[in-house]
A = this chain, B = another copy of it.
Amino acid sequence: MTTISNDVVTLVNVFTVAPERQQELVDMLIEATEATMKNVPGFVSANIHKSLDGKRVVNYAQWRTAEDFEAMLKDPDALTHMGPIKELAEFDAHLYEVVESISK
């Protein structure tokens, strides 16, 4: 269970994908997270979302620090798992802080 929080740094990665390959992308992201990302120092959580219109996949992920995330980008195991994903979909990844949470 993931709580939106500023105790971590948040990665929002938005993948643009052909609807007929959306599920394949979801499966690859889950596999890469379970096999590799989960064991990278500083990983906190990954939350895979698929859009109802089939056109997007979002990974809402949390890392302990921005430095942990940057180090992962140079990790050979992580890069091996991200390679095929990059061939399947364009993505727009940024690190975020939570500014405000408003609930009913």
Contacts and interface: CB of A to CB of B under 8 A. Distances in A.
Interface residues of A, number: 42
A30 B99 CA distance: 9
The main secondary structure of chain A at its interface with chain B is strand
Copies of this chain present in the complex amount to 2
A38 to B, nearest CB: 6
A8 to B, nearest CB: 11
A104 interface: yes
B102 A34 contact: yes
19 contacts: A1-B4, A1-B5, A1-B103, A2-B3, A2-B103, A12-B56, A14-B14, A26-B99, A26-B100, A30-B102, A47-B100, A48-B99, A48-B102, A51-B95, A51-B96, A52-B66, A52-B97, A56-B92, A60-B60
